[in-house]
Structure formats: C-alpha cells, structure tokens
Structure 1
C-alpha cells in the first residue's frame, strides 16, 4: 500500500477537495450533532455523486452510531463516516482467472470512456505478471479502435486477432479463441463496440459475442468488465444497468478518476448495482491501472496533507 498510496491520494485530489474538505469544514463549524448537521452532511454526499441510496445508508448508519455510542462532538463523525464507507465498499474483489487457460475477459462500455486504453493497460499489467495475452479487436465499427489496440499490443507485448473494419465482431471473437488455444495463451481480452445510439443492435451483438465465448470455452467469460468514466457521475449507474441487460457485468473499471470530483460514484455503484469496482485508472502511463482496494481508497480520500 505504501508505494501506491501517494499516487492514489494525488488521483483523488479533486474528490477530496470537493467532498472530504467540506465534511471537515462541516464538523468544525457545528458545535452539536443535530438535524441541520445531518442535512448538510447529506447534501455534501449527494454533491459528491455518492447517490441517493448510498447516502441514505451512510447517514442512517452514522445516526445509529452517534446514538449508540452517545457521541456529541461533530468532529467524531468524520471517523464514523470513514468507517461506514469502508463497510459499504465491502470486501475487495480480485480478477477471476480460469483454473485452466485461457481466461476470457470481456470488456464493455460506451465510446469515449477509455475502454481500449484500459484494455491496453490491463494487457500490460498481465504481461508484467508473466501471462501470455491475446487481444481480440471485436470493436469492428471503429477503425480507430483497431489501430489503437494494435499500438497497445506492441507496447504490452501481447498477441492480437483482428479483421477488417465492419466485420462480424462474433467472428473475430471466434477466431481469437481458436488462436488462443493453438498458441497456449493465458488470457484473452475482448474489446467490444460501445455505440449507445444503436442500443438494441449493440446489446444483441454483446449477447451474440457472449454466446460464442460460452460455447467455445465452457465457463467463460470469466470476467465481464464495464469501463466507466468517473466524470459521468450518476450516469455510470445507468450504464451499469444497460450493459447488465445484455451480459452479466462482474466488475467495474473506473477511469479518469484523476480528472473529476465525482469519485463518490464508487459508493453509488456498489450500493445500487451491487457490482464491485475491480480496477481504477490513475493516469496516462501503461502502469496506471491499479487493483481497487476499498480501504486504501477511503484512506486516500480522507488523507491529511503530508500523509504518505
């Protein structure tokens, strides 16, 4: 945790400034814990995109703690809130790998959230762990996506299976899985289209890809990762709902956390959709994709100046 903590703290700077700093000001401004105090705390949580459900749960939990422990000092609420946020995020959920290779990871998400870049970073991470990785360029509707994946393939040292733009995405996936078996690949990562304006076609395409994967590799896909731009805030919940209709999303990858004050959406997704955040993007470099740790996240969010 120590080596990564300063980077995570830096990544969450905007969220900390808009959320935790306001909580700190709140507890210092009030001399008692009353209804006005709780109303202000609720407003701060909602403004940080924690969401209605998660906010209600946190406020109710803090109220119960204050009553049970007979707490009268508002400054003590800061620690209570931190503990309850850790509790809400629950146990960490690491990536699942097949008992026998290849592991198949299906990556979904709308255009513009950093999906292809995330796949490249994930491939880089897995290669650093010594795994052989193959990328399936199944977003055949965007020629730029195929080209971008090719660049990441070279950077990560992965294999790739691609067809011409406009090809059948399920055929790309089929060929990728056959190639993975022949080449002794450990992990197949599948890029997919994210054209929400053609929602019906998109969802059917994802279902078709999943059917092909399940038929060719029993038990696969082993992960379905939804890539979400943290800056979209509450829209992330809608995206989780939409993609969940087509395929069972097993985890969230939250990107662009360093550019937004809406990091509270991590709590909203966990509470309202029941989907764990598994990875977070913390910057532009290939190594800037980290395994999500709830306690580490909350600690960085509440970190004081100078704390490393």
Structure 2
C-alpha cells in the first residue's frame, strides 16, 4: 500500500504533549553513555528498537521470490493515463495516436501531446516518449538500513511528535535521514560553533551575540533573528538559562516563526482534496528548479495515491516540454503539451483542465516559464494563466507555489516579496538546501514575507522533496551531528 505523504500526522497518539526538549536530552544521554531520570532506555532507544524491529519484519515479509514493487508504480498501464478517445471534445482533433509498441514499457507510457488550441493552429504534435528501466534507482521503494545514529535520531524526532512505534514507516525514516544530510552545509557552519559556545555553562550576553551573528550568516533574516533572541534574553532576565534549556528555547522560537504563516493559512499540511479538481501552479524565476520540483511533486502525489496530470506550460524555454515529459514518464503521469513555437501557455492549461475533468483527475500540476519578477509582460502572462484556471475550473482548489533556490539567500526573499504581490502566491517550495549553507532563508521567508513553506527539497533525487514539517526542519537544522 502506498504511503500517503499528504496525510502525515494521523498516527499521532491523542493526548501526548507537543514536541519538547526530550530530543536534546536523549541525544546527550546517549553520547555520555548515561541515563537521566526522564531519559531512560524505554523512553528512547527501546522505542527506536521496537520501531526498527517492526520495520525489519515488515520488510522481510514484503520481500520474496517476486520482485519488490516500487511505491506508487503500476504493474500495468495506469488507470489515470489519459487516452486520446477519452479527451474532451474540443481536443479530439489535437491528439496524435501513439504507436502500439510505445505502450509496452512500464516507464515508457505515452504522454499526451497537445497541439495549440484548435482555434489557433491545426498542426498535430508528435508524441514524445522516454522508455525507462524498471529498476531506475529513484523509483525504488526506500529500503531500511542499519540501526545506527541516523535511525535513532529519526526515531527520536518522530517520537517527540507523539508518533506510535507501530505507525512509523520506512519512507519517513528515509526522508528524515535525507533531510538531515541535506542540511549538513548549513549545520556545519552554524551548529558546531553554536554548541561550542553554549558549552556547559549558563547562557551569557556574549553567547547570544555570537548566536545572532551565526543566524544572520545562515540567512535567517533580521526579523526572525530578533524574534528568537528577544525570547532568549527575556528568559535570561528571569532566571539562569542552562545550555540544554537555551537550545530547546531556540528551537521552540524558530519553529514558531515557521508555524505562524502556516496557521494563518488555515491549512496545516497542503494536500490535494480528494473528490475535487486541484490545480497547483508552479512559478518562479529562471534556474531555481521549477520543472524539477514539479516532477518531484508529481512523483510524490502518485506515490501517495493521487491521480495526477501535468500541464507543460513552459512553452518558452528550449527543451522545457521534453524535460517535463521525462519527469512525467518517470512516475507514469500523463503530460499535456504543445511543442509548436510560441504556443500559448494559457491554451495548454485550458486543454489540460478539460482532460483532467474528463478523467476525474485529482491533481493538475502546471509548469510555467521562468520569469523575473521585474518583467511586467511576463508577470501579466502568469496572471492570464490564472484567469484561465479561474474561468475554466471555478470549482477547483487552486494553489500558486513559488519555487525558491535556497542558495540565493536574501535575493530569494526579494523574489518572494515581488511574486507574492503579482502572482497571488499561497505557498513556497524551497529547493537545493543540500548545496548551500543558507538554509535559514526558510525562516526569513516565513517571518518577512509571511508565506507558508509547503515543500522542501534536500537533494537531487526524485525522493528528495517532501511536504514541509517545521519541527522536523528545525531538528535537522540544529542536529548535533
């Protein structure tokens, strides 16, 4: 059964307290080889061992003489693959028939090639397919590794959120390990010195001054930094703050900064609404990884059990259509595209909506051309796409997601502010966290632009993008190793 990433949190045990400082205490106890009264073997390692044993048993049961089926990949042609004869009437004449031999490969499922809107041209595009091996690594189901420090840390993070040992999945353990590794560069320049300064003595003004400099260097932003330090200073004025308590309070404040815009949106975890048409526009400047992010979102949705379709709305960049088709191919997701020159992206979106509605598709992902927020004509084109969506699918649940490259730091913050005004943004996906020491930009976006972070990418693989979890992000950012 596919793991539904859009329904995380349902396994939380009712009545348990919110994530607290037990993670720091558990890690310190393990490192020191001791056990505090509230950090026992049963509280930490025994919980992790129970989860590990259950996952190991489950993995053995799933493996056998037959090949292990990757999560979210169909054994035969996907039911949600749109066939030419099932497209809406206005598009019947614009679909080229796919040669029979192209339907045999599991990952070479034909994609839908759309000509421009019938009123504009009668040229029919030639379908593009990209056959792929059944054993492509990024499509394999995550495999449980050894019971090591990474597993124990991941288990601590899940347990601190009130999770039950018998509900932990390999997918979550795998992702937390990826997230922790992906934030290594930010953590290396930030946490190591921070923990050294915290030391074993109570917090001092000098320690907070150093913390301020480190937060700013990580592109956390002035507003978020001031918010976190003010809380620490208030606590210091009231009582002596020990290092463990100081680190816990810092994590608490940073998590709260990320949670404010999420709570304000009224949606704690962005997910397609089943039984409705969901349309997510993916926007951003050139080179931030929009198409790659869209491809990973398609894979994530498919793995989580949602029928998905892609609109290749980037009709400007060379090979953009081919790139998005390859991403669709990897996850068995159909793509509506137009390879003719100067195609109208709004027309592609128009046809995609018709195709998705006829098939009862859960989620439509719309790729868009990269554009600078200072180019008025390109921003107007984006608004035209949005008007098309609103007019053709007034019942749809529409999201507009800005893709930001974490390595751009404060420049990404300026992009977010400009796009928020012009593109009616509802959230942000932050990419390339693994290649930069500026992972703190997520806090700057949340505090200064007040946009909720919805997805984060911490690697180049197809599994390296997941829904955002504030608590897990801060724990990975401030992990001791």
Distance 1:144 1:75 in 2: 52
Residues 200, 29 of structure 1: alpha-carbon distance in 2 compared, 3 angstrom cutoff: farther
* Larger Rg, first or second structure (1 or 2): 2
Identify if the C-alpha distance between structure 1 residues 48 and 37 changes in structure 2 by more than 3 Å, giving closer, same or farther: same
CA drift of 1:27 comes to 1.9
Residues matched between the structures, number: 303
Whole-Å Cα distance in 1 between the matches of residues 371 and 442 of structure 2?
24
Residue pairs, 1:177-188, within 5 angstroms: 177-188=353-364
Whichever structure has more helix as a proportion of its residues is 1
- The corresponding residue for 1:131 is 306
Q: What is the rounded CA distance, in whole Å, between the counterparts of 1:67 and 1:197 in structure 2?
A: 44
Matched, 1:267 2:437: no
Match in the other structure for 1:87: 256
1:24 corresponds to which residue? 195
Deviation, structure 1 residue 177: 0.7
Query: Does 1:161 find its partner at 2:336?
Result: yes
Match of 2:285 in 1: 110
Following TM superposition, the consecutive aligned residue runs of length 4 or more in structure 1 with deviations greater than 6 angstroms are none
The answer for the alignment partner of 1:63 in structure 2 is 233
The structure 2 residue matched to 1:152, chosen from 327, 330, 335, is 327
Question: Partners in 2 of 1:197 and 1:122 — Cα distance?
Answer: 23
* Structure 2 residue 426 is matched with structure 1 residue 253: no
Question: Kindly tell me: are residues 221 and 32 of structure 1, through their superposed partners in 2, closer, same or farther at Cα, counting changes over 3 Å?
Answer: closer
* Aligned-partner Cα distance in 1 for 2:297–2:203: 48
Q: Does 1:101 align with 2:276?
A: yes
1:46 aligns with 2:216: yes
Structure 1, residues 88-117: CA drift from partner, whole Å, max 9, x if none?
A: 221763124346332100110111111101
Structure 1 spans left out of the alignment, 5+ residues: none
Q: Judge conservation of contact 2:285–2:373 (CA < 8 Å) in 1.
A: no
Distance 1:32 1:188, change over 3 A: closer
Give secondary structure in 2 for the equivalent of 1:120.
Answer: helix
Q: TM-score when scaled to structure 1?
A: 0.92
Residue 68 of structure 2 corresponds to none
Runs of 5+ consecutive residues of structure 2 not aligned to the other structure? 1-153, 156-172, 263-267
1:7 aligns with 2:175: no
Using structure 2 for the length normalisation, give the TM-score: 0.60
C-alpha deviation, 1:76, in angstroms: 4.0
Match of 1:287 in 2: 463
Deviation, 1:131, is 1.7
Where do 1:208-223 residues align within 5 Å? Answer: 208-220=384-396, 222-223=398-399
> Offset at 1:64?
1.2
Cα 1:197–1:37 shift into 2, 3 Å: closer
- The two structures, once aligned, show a CA RMSD in angstroms of 2.0
Q: How many Å separate the matches in 1 of 2:307 and 2:361?
A: 5
Ranked by relative contact order (alpha carbons within 8 Å, sequence separation 6 or more), the top structure is 1
User: Per-residue deviation at 1:73?
Assistant: 4.2
Greater Cα offset, 195-204 or 178-187: 195-204
Q: 1:140 matched to which residue of 2?
A: 315
